[in-house]
Chains A and B, each alone.
Chain A
Amino acid sequence: MILTIKYFGMLAEVTECAEETITFSESTVSELLKMLLAKYPALEKKEFQVAQNQTLVSEDAQILNSEIVLLPPFAGG
């Protein structure tokens, strides 16, 4: 399946892109994260949540939707 991954905030600095499409052949969020961490080892140190279909999902959720968002917390004010 072709997925569009969006990176918000400082995550886009790690990946050096705000959005990319990848080919994904496995099934869960944790498998997707494993793939992304292999591609971008610096993501390991970052805190973020994953949203699919505009809803936060846990790591054991199935990837169903073609658009995934990686969402970090912001401290600034």
Chain B
Amino acid sequence: MSRYSRHIILEDIGIDGQNKLNQAKVLVIGAGGLGCPVLQYLAAAGIGHIGIIDFDIVEESNLQRQILYGTSNLGQQKAIAAKQRLTDLNSTIVVDAFTEALTPQNALAYFSNYDIIVDGTDNFETRYLINDAAILTNKPVVYGAIYKFEGQVSVFNYNNGPSYRCLFPNSPSKNDIPNCSEVGVLGVLPGIIGTMQANEVIKIILGFKNVLSGKLYCYNSKTTQTFTIDIKKSTTEFEKIKSKRDHFEKQHYTKTCDSTVKEMTIDKALQKENILFIDVRELDELPKANRLQHIKIPLSTLNHELHNIDKTKTIMMFCKSGTRSKKAVSMLQEHNITNCYSIKNGITAIENYFKIHA
């Protein structure tokens, strides 16, 4: 037990506390900016059973903040790469890697196998899905979310405390709030917020009194200001979710929230068959995607050129960073063209792909 000696000599942990950590089961959803520090500290602390759900692959732009990965992991599944790193960090624990997305169909089964759920996702539909599945399976959720230089932390559904919907009952409207890939984020910020999430997980397992339940902790890394807001439980929000239990698996979270826009990495897009790439940038924008077979329809004229799009194909749209192509996907969806995706990180990712696969 010398691995945990610095825990064990703490009066508030001791051998009993360390045993609790070793027996705990924690599911981390999203192995990105928040998930990486959460996973790193939970594995180091000896959390006996850790599950990782992430369908994404490691890209170069992740390495600025997703500290479990290195250059040698580029192109690998995040869940698998994270598991490798954690097993090296602590081979005495069990780590399960799941490379699929969390969905209403699989969420209840996943959650029932763990004691605590950690929300390290990057979109609203999964955050509401996590909230609702946690209410139905009665599991606490350790929540973290970030925007540029600001972060939020809370613990939901813990000891009869409030849930995410008690804080934000309404899903933000479409295209309202962009994610990190569109707006950027200070790399160290998810490190701070994710580490605070790991701390809350450990407090829950050890039975500490002042778990961050019923409160939202807000942190601004630019001003070093913090702000804690009290959240009251809304029984109506809980009842709404519980009443939906019977058809929970049939719900479509993607239709009710922001980020309804489907994104795909260029690597994955190129593995698909019968695809049509569309450059939605203005015609004179550089760099040109010379190595990729595509057609050009600027976002500004897309509405008038719908007839030029072959709807029998899976449509992959790209721009500079992914912002306009997401708008383009929403636009096509409004015209009932649903088999379409936005290429994550746009031309930057496309250029990187052809650099690696030269």
Contacts and interface: CB of A to CB of B under 8 A. Distances in A.
Contacts of A71: 216, 218, 229
B218 A8 contact: yes
A75 B124 CA distance: 6
Interface centre among A49, A56, A76 (most CB of B within 10 A): A76
Interface string B201-233: 000000000000000101010010001111110
Given A72-B177, A77-B33, 12 more contacts: A8-B218, A45-B173, A47-B172, A49-B168, A54-B228, A69-B229, A71-B216, A74-B151, A75-B127, A76-B185, A77-B34, A77-B119
A53 to B, nearest CB: 9
Given A75-B123, A77-B35, A54 B230 contact: yes
B167 interface: yes
A49 B168 CA distance: 7
Interface string B114-136: 00000111111001000000000
A9 interface: yes
B152 interface: yes
A46 interface: yes
B232 A76 contact: no
A18 B225 CA distance: 12
B122 A75 contact: yes
User: A-side binding surface: helix, strand, loop or mixed?
Assistant: loop
25 contacts: A8-B150, A10-B177, A18-B223, A47-B168, A47-B172, A47-B177, A49-B167, A55-B229, A56-B232, A71-B218, A72-B172, A72-B177, A74-B146, A74-B147, A75-B123, A75-B177, A75-B259, A76-B147, A76-B183, A76-B185, A77-B33, A77-B145, A77-B146, A77-B179, A77-B180
Interface residues of A, number: 21
Contacts of B231: 56
Interface in B231-271: 231-232, 258-259
B121 A74 contact: no
B128 to A, nearest CB: 10
Interface residues of B, number: 46
B176 interface: yes
Given A73-B124, A74-B145, A55 B172 contact: no
B121 A77 contact: yes
Contacts of B308: none
A71 B217 CA distance: 11
Residue from A9, A49, A55 with most neighbouring chain B CB atoms (10 Å): A9
A51 interface: yes
Contacts of A74: 145-147, 150-152, 177
Interface string B31-69: 011110000000000000000000000000000000000
B104 interface: no
A75 B35 CA distance: 14
